[in-house]
Amino acid sequence: MVFSRLFFIYIFLPVCLGAYFLARGTKMKNNVLLLFSLAFYAWGEPVYVLLMLLSAVINYTAGRLIGRYGDSRKSRITAGLAVFTDIALLGVFKYSGFIVENINHIPSVELPVPDIRLPIGISFYTFQTISYVIDCLWETVTPQKSFRKFLLYVSLFPQLVAGPIVRYSTIEKEIDERTSSITDISYGLNRVVLGLAKKVIIADQLGIVADSLLGGIENATAAAAWTGAAVYAMQIYFDFSGYSDIAIGLGRVFGFHFDENFRHPFMCRDITEFWQRWHISLGTFFRDYLLYVPIFGKRRKYGGLFLVWLCTGIWHGASWNFVIWGLYYGLFIFIETLIGKKRMKKIPLVIRHIYSKAVIIAGFGIFYFEDLDKLGTFFTKLFSTGRLIGLQDRILLVNNVYLLILAVILTFPIIDGIRRISQRSAPVRTAAAVSLPAVSAALLLLTSILLVDQTSHPFLYFRF
């Protein structure tokens, strides 16, 4: 099931909310959420519910065993086996075809390429279970004794299929005891509408522009290549941050407080800061669980950095362009690490912004082109000379100028700024309180109208 569908907005969600708030006590509310979460996943992946249940059983059992063994060699072996199993399951379903295709490039080797459909959300819930097992081993969380509660953590539908990656420690206490105030419900529903608007009104429309500019990359000009990649970067941002808004908003309605996943990443002054603002749950996962992993028996600063960015690329998909994409960003972060924070700050701010945006835009070009030949053509076009932009591309941009201006404006913290001002000014706070419901209703109406005739536009991170 997809959030940006009228069935979810007007049938599934209202029924779920009605059942949830009619239920008495946290136990019954958890049962309602678990039932609807399993139904949500089974709607599109009925067979792969069993795979998610298997993952939950393995990691729940590992947590209980670690809790029983305490700080011992048995606990470390148990955690290692659980993490290995998680990665193996992810590898089989997500990367087996990619691995076999590359093996077949060896002369005289021709293995059948497995055609396995990727289970939606497997990258997200796998990383959640891995973090849970490691946190149990490190004794930063208490192993969950109830399988029902653990399964709720794994399958919680607001963030199940496209994140953010929610750690068990974030909602450990709220699984057992939480409340949903009127303020929480109002904030959550408004944020859900905002996320839907980001997806349907902005991201999907930007996607049309990006595909038009990049789809014929062989005939594109340098300006079209740069503009197309920039538009695609904004499409990814509004699509993925929109999903995160919906997840965080739904979580708040149900009494859960998920961490933020985006903090206006295009305001960054360098690439290191970009990744502190972009897909925060993935970046902090790799920082906490992979960066300091011993390599050949010793923690190696730059070796750990390479491993993190290699895995960041691989996590995004079974294709070489994603591997290149991860190492590409890793290279710039490596360079910035060598320069050092103090010397980076001495570089004029304008130059830092130009540098970071150029790197980011080119990086999303890598993200867009899975075909390496077209990727090579894209980079050739970035630095080509000649006419600035073709007539058709110029007409396309003129016809979408208001969309592009709106998208650029909304990459800045406009809403956060209004919220801060309202906290300091009673008149602004009153005006915001009165206008917010009307604005949300208008956005929901416009989103619904666009969804009536819209063809399928799933969230882009579903495939990761």
Q: How far apart are CA 104 and CA 112, in angstroms?
A: 9
Residue 298, phi then psi, degrees to nearest 5? -145, 145
| HSE, side-chain direction, 13 A CA sphere, residue 362 | 19
At 320, the amino acid letter reads W
Residue 264 annotated as catalytic = no
Q: In degrees to the nearest 10, what's the CA dihedral of 107, 113, 118, 122? A: -60
Q: Which two tokens stand for residue 92?
A: 């089989």
Q: Which two tokens stand for residue 369?
A: 């082109």
Q: With b meaning 16 or more CB within 10 Å and e meaning fewer, what string describes 403-431?
A: bbeebeebbeeeeeeeeeebeeeeeeeee
* 326 in Cβ contact with 313 (< 8 Å): yes
The residue written with tokens 């835009």 in the block is: 361
Q: What is the chain's Cα-based Rg?
A: 23
For 98, 100, 112, 230, 324, the CA distances from 103, given in Å and listed in that order, are 9, 5, 11, 35, 19
List 295's β-bridge partners, or say none. 298
Q: How far apart are CA 306 and CA 131, in angstroms?
A: 21
List 298's β-bridge partners, or say none. 295
Other C-beta atoms lying within 10 Å of the C-beta of residue 453: 6
| HSE, side-chain direction, 13 A CA sphere, residue 15 | 10
Phi-psi region of 270 (alpha: psi -120 to 50; beta: other; left: phi over 0): beta
Helices 301-316, 320-339: inter-axial angle, 10-degree rounding: 150
Identify the active-site residue in 105, 264, 316, 457. 316
At 358, the amino acid letter reads A
Which residues are CB-neighbours of 252 under 8 A, at least 6 positions away? 180, 184, 185, 187, 188, 191, 258
Which residues are CB-neighbours of 260 under 8 A, at least 6 positions away? 244, 248, 280
Q: How far apart are CA 378 and CA 331, in angstroms?
A: 20
At 123, the amino acid letter reads S
For the annotated catalytic residues, the residue numbers are: 316
